[in-house]
C-alpha cells in the first residue's frame, strides 16, 4: 500500500507499506518490493524510488514500511505504485495511489444580496446591492446575454448601493458574479421583465438566500453556498444524486468513473446505457456500476484510457483533464484547436490541454482563479463539476 504525506496541500512524501501473511506456508522465499512514481501523462517516464528485498518467512507475518520524498514534478500530479516480484516470476502491482492531497474546504463566504428591478420605458434597470452581512469586500461583474460585460466599482463590506444599467431590453438575462481574494463566484441569473406597459416602477426579481438553510436538502451544502444553484440544476437534471447519509460531498474529488456517469447522463438525459457485457478496459469489470457509462463514452470517443491499457477508474480527475472531457462532449469527433495563446498564467501554450481549456474560457464555462491561474493539475471537486456542466449546458443550448 502507499499513502501520501501532504505539506500545505501539496504531496511532499510517500510512504510505501507491504504486508505479508505466511502463517500457512511451509517454505520461506524472497520478494523484491519496488516503490515507483508514475506520471499522469501517459507519455511521461516513471521515476524509480527504491527497491527493498524482503524475506518471507514461513509461519510468520510482517509489515515493511519506508518513506521517501517526492520529486517536485510529482508533487501535485501522478501516482505512487508498489510492485512485488518473486524470483523467476512476473512483477505484480500491489497498490496504485494518486498523489493528491485532500481538498481544502474553503472558508465560509457570504456575498452581498441584490435585487433587480424591471426595465423602464427608457431601457434602464436598477440593481440594488446590500453588503450589510457580507463576509468581505467584493467586486461585481455582470454578463448580459446580449454579449460583453459590465464591471462596477467594488462594494465594501457593510455598505449598500445601487447601479443603473442602461440600454437593456426585457428578456435579456443578466448573469451576476462576485470576486474577491478567492475564485470568482457565480451568484445568480435574472431574466429582465418590463414595467413600461404598466407605467413603470415595481416588479423585478429579488435574489436573496432561500428560507431553507440547506441546498436541495443536503446536510453538507448550505443554501448560501455559491455552487447551490449549480448543484440544484445537476440534481434536477438527474445527472447526479446525493449519498445515503444525506450528503452531497461538495468538496470531494471526482473520480474518472464518476465523471463518466456524469457525462453520460448529461448527454443522454432520457436513456440508460446498454448493459455492460464486455470490459471496456482491463481494469473496469463488467460488474462495476459504472461499466456501462464508461463503455458508452469510449464508443463515442468522449473518453480514452492510458498507455498501459487501463482506464484507472478510481483515480481523481484533474481540472485540465476535465476540460478535455467537456470539449469532446460538446464537440463530438473533433480535436481542440491548437493553442497559441494561453488563457491562464499556469497553462503554457505547450500544455496538451491548453486548447481544451481555452474553449471553456470562450464559452464562459470557467473563469479561473483570482491569482490568474487555472490550477490545471488540481483535482476537480463535485461542486465545481456541477458548475462546469451547468455552464456548458447554458452555453450550448
What was the pLDDT predicted at 210?
37
| 278 and 368 belong to one structural domain | yes
| 273 and 381 belong to one structural domain | yes
pLDDT in tens, 93-137: 555 666 666 554 445 677 888 888 888 888 888 888 888 888 888
- Domain CATH code at residue 61: 2.60.40.3880
Query: What's the rounded Cα separation, in Å, for the pair 133 and 113?
Result: 9
| 239 and 183 belong to one structural domain | no
Domain count within the chain: 3
Query: What's the rounded Cα separation, in Å, for the pair 183 and 107?
Result: 12
SS3 at position 28: coil
pLDDT in tens, 19-67: 666 667 677 666 666 666 666 555 556 666 666 666 766 667 777 666 6
| 174 and 276 belong to one structural domain | no
Angstrom distances, CA of residue 342 to CA of 35, 151, 255, 359: 36, 23, 27, 11
Q: What share of the chain is helix, strand, coil (3-state, %, to 5)?
A: 20, 30, 50
| 276 and 371 belong to one structural domain | yes
Quick one: cell of 283?
481494469
Assess whether pLDDT exceeds 60 at residue 244.
Answer: yes
Count CA atoms within 13 Å of residue 138 on its CB side.
30
Confidence of residue 311 (pLDDT cuts 50, 70, 90): very high
Angstrom distances, CA of residue 88 to CA of 32, 93, 170: 11, 16, 77
- Domain CATH code at residue 134: 2.60.40
Assess whether pLDDT exceeds 80 at residue 199.
Answer: no
| 354 and 303 belong to one structural domain | yes
| 236 and 153 belong to one structural domain | no
| 200 and 219 belong to one structural domain | no
Query: Which residues 6+ apart lie within 8 Å of 284 measured at CB?
Result: 257, 290, 291, 294, 295, 311, 313
With a threshold of 0.85, does the pTM exceed it?
A: no
Query: Region 192-209: what's the mean pLDDT?
Result: 52
| 92 and 21 belong to one structural domain | yes
Query: What's the rounded Cα separation, in Å, for the pair 112 and 137?
Result: 9
Residue 9 lies in a domain: yes
Q: Which domain holds residue 196?
A: 113-207
Amino acid at each position: 500500500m502507499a499513502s501520501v504525506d501532504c505539506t500545505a496541500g501539496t504531496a511532499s512524501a510517500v510512504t510505501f507499506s507491504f504486508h505479508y501473511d505466511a502463517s500457512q506456508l511451509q517454505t520461506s522465499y524472497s520478494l523484491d518490493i519496488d516503490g515507483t512514481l508514475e506520471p499522469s501523462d501517459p507519455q511521461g517516464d516513471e521515476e524509480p524510488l527504491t527497491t527493498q528485498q524482503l524475506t518471507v518467512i514461513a509461519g510468520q507475518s510482517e509489515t515493511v514500511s519506508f518513506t521517501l520524498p517526492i520529486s517536485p514534478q510529482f508533487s501535485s500530479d501522478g501516482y505512487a505504485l508498489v510492485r512485488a516480484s518473486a524470483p523467476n516470476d512476473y512483477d505484480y502491482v500491489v497498490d496504485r495511489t494518486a498523489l493528491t492531497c485532500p481538498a481544502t474546504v474553503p472558508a465560509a463566504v457570504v456575498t452581498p444580496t441584490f435585487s433587480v428591478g424591471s426595465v423602464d420605458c427608457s431601457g434602464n434597470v436598477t440593481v440594488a446591492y446590500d453588503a450589510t452581512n457580507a463576509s468581505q469586500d467584493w467586486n461585481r461583474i455582470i454578463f448580459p446575454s446580449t454579449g460583453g460585460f459590465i464591471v462596477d466599482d467594488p462594494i465594501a463590506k457593510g455598505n449598500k448601493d445601487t447601479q443603473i444599467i442602461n440600454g437593456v431590453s426585457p428578456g435579456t438575462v443578466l448573469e451576476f458574479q462576485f470576486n474577491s481574494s478567492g475564485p470568482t463566484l457565480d451568484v445568480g441569473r435574472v431574466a429582465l421583465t418590463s414595467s413600461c406597459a404598466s407605467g413603470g416602477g415595481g416588479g423585478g426579481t429579488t435574489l436573496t438566500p432561500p428560507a431553507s438553510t440547506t441546498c436541495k436538502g443536503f446536510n453538507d451544502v448550505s443554501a448560501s453556498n455559491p455552487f447551490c444553484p449549480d448543484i440544484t440544476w445537476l440534481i434536477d437534471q438527474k445527472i447526479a444524486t446525493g449519498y445515503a447519509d444525506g450528503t452531497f460531498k461538495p468538496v470531494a474529488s471526482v473520480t474518472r468513473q464518476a465523471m463518466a456517469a456524469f457525462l453520460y447522463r448529461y448527454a443522454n438525459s432520457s436513456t440508460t446505457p446498454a448493459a455492460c457485457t464486455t470490459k471496456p478496459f482491463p481494469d473496469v469489470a463488467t460488474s462495476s456500476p459504472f461499466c456501462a457509462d464508461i463503455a458508452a463514452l469510449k464508443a463515442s470517443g468522449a473518453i480514452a484510457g492510458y498507455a498501459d491499457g487501463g482506464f484507472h477508474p478510481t483515480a481523481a480527475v484533474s481540472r485540465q483533464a476535465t476540460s478535455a472531457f467537456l470539449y469532446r462532449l460538446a464537440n463530438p469527433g473533433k480535436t481542440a484547436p491548437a493553442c497559441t495563446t494561453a488563457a491562464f498564467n499556469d497553462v503554457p501554450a505547450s500544455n496538451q490541454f491548453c486548447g481544451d481549456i481555452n474553449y471553456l474560457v470562450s464559452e464562459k464555462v470557467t473563469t479561473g482563479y483570482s491569482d490568474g491561474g487555472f490550477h490545471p493539475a488540481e483535482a476537480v471537486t463535485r461542486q465545481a463539476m456541477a458548475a462546469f456542466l451547468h455552464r456548458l449546458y447554458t452555453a450550448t443550448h
